[in-house]
Structure 1
Amino acid sequence: MLVVDDNKVIRQLIRVNLELEGFEVVTAADGVECLDLVHRIRPDVVTLDVVMPRLGGLETATGLRSDPRTRHLPIAVISACTPYEVDAGVSAGVDAFLAKPFEPSELVRMVHRLATGEERPSVDGRSGAGCAGTTTG
C-alpha cells in the first residue's frame, strides 16, 4: 500500500488507520516520490491526493496508467473530490474516490475492495464518476 499526500498529518492518519487493519503502508509526499517508490515496493494499492507540489495526483495517476508495469495497479484519489477532480480522475484512470474529510471505516472499506479486486472497473479500465468511499464502475 502506497499513500501519497503532501500533508504529513493526512499521510499519518491514512497510514495509521490502514496499519490498524493489517495493511503494510509506505508513504510519499508527492507524485515524483510516488513514481520513484512504486517500482521498488510494488504496492497493491496507491492512494493519491490531487494537489501536491512537483507532481499532482492526477498527473501521477496518468503516469501510472501509461507504464505497463503499473497499468493495472488500483488507484484511489483521496481529496476534496470536486466535480473537476472526479471527471479528471476518471479520465486519468482512477479506480475510486474518497472525499476529505473521510470516515476511517470508509477508507478501510475502499482500500480493502481495491486490494482484493472486488468491484474492479469495467473492461475498458475506466470507472464511472462518483465520490465516496466506494469504487466506481
Structure 2
Amino acid sequence: MGKTRTRWPVRTYSRVVPGASGRVLVVDDNKVIRQLIRVNLELEGFEVVTAADGAECLDVVHQVRPDVITLDVVMPRLDGLRTAARLRADARTSELPIVIVSACTQYEVESGLDVGVDAFLAKPFEPGELVRVVERLSERGRTTGGGGGRGGRDAGGSSGGDAAADPQAEADPADGVTDRTGHTDRAERSARTADA
C-alpha cells in the first residue's frame, strides 16, 4: 500500500479589494517578468495593466491613468529611460511616480535620476520589496496629489511639495543610489539630506 497524504487547503486571499490599493502600469518586454510583477501587486490589491515596451506605455498611459508606473530599461522600440523622459515632459504625467525595475548600470541610474525617476529596484528583486516600493510611491502620490489623475491631481498636473521635484534630491546622484536591497527612493534620499 502506498502512503496517503492529507493536504490542508492553502488559503490564498488579498487583504484588500482588487484595485483598492491603486492602479499600476507595468512596462517590461519580458512576459515572465510582467506576469511576476502583476501577480505580486494584484495579491496586494493593486489593479495592474501591462505594456510590452515604452511606445506601448505612451499609447495607453492616458487611458489607464495609473498611480505608479514600473519600467524596465532595456526594451525594443522605446527604452525605459526615454519613456520616463517623455512621461516627465508631458504635463498630464509629469508628477506620476516612476519606478525603474531593471539590472541598471551606474550610468543608467544617474540618467534615470536626471530624467526624474523616483525609485530603482534591481533585478533580480524580492517580490516583497517591489510591493513596498510601489505601495510607498502610490501612497505618496495620493497624499501629495500626484497620483494618476483619478482624483488627486489638479488640472495642471502639479502636486505641490513632491519630494521628486526637490532640487536637493538631485544634488548628488551617487548618494544612496543603491542600498543592500538594490533600490533607491528619491524621497528617502531627500529626507536624509534634509536631516543632515
Q: TM-score, normalised by structure 1?
A: 0.93
Return 5+ residue gaps in structure 1 as ranges.
none
Question: What is the Cα-based RMSD across aligned positions, in Å?
Answer: 1.8
CA positional deviation for 1:125: 9.0
The structure with the larger Rg is 2
Q: Secondary structure at the match of 1:25?
A: strand
Contact 2:116–2:164 under 8 Å retained in 1 = no
Alpha-carbon distance in 2 for matches of 1:125, 1:99: 24
**Residue 112 (structure 2) pairs with residue 62 (structure 1):** no
Alpha-carbon distance in 2 for matches of 1:74, 1:44: 7
From 37, 46, 58, give the equivalent of 2:60.
37
The aligned residue for residue 78 of structure 1 is 101
Contact 2:163–2:169 under 8 Å retained in 1 = no
Aligned partner letter, 1:70: T
Which structure 1 residue ranges, 4+ long, deviate > 2 Å from structure 2?
Answer: 118-129, 131-134
**Residue 28 (structure 2) pairs with residue 5 (structure 1):** yes
From 82, 92, 111, give the equivalent of 2:115.
92
CA positional deviation for 1:12: 0.3
CA positional deviation for 1:13: 0.3
**Number of aligned residues:** 137
From 117, 127, 136, give the equivalent of 1:104.
127
The aligned residue for residue 123 of structure 1 is 166
CA positional deviation for 1:44: 0.1
Return 5+ residue gaps in structure 2 as ranges.
1-23, 142-161, 190-196
Q: Which has the higher contact order (CA 8 A, sep 6+)?
A: 1
The aligned residue for residue 135 of structure 1 is 185
Contact 2:98–2:117 under 8 Å retained in 1 = yes
CA positional deviation for 1:120: 4.0
Q: TM-score, normalised by structure 2?
A: 0.66
CA positional deviation for 1:31: 0.3
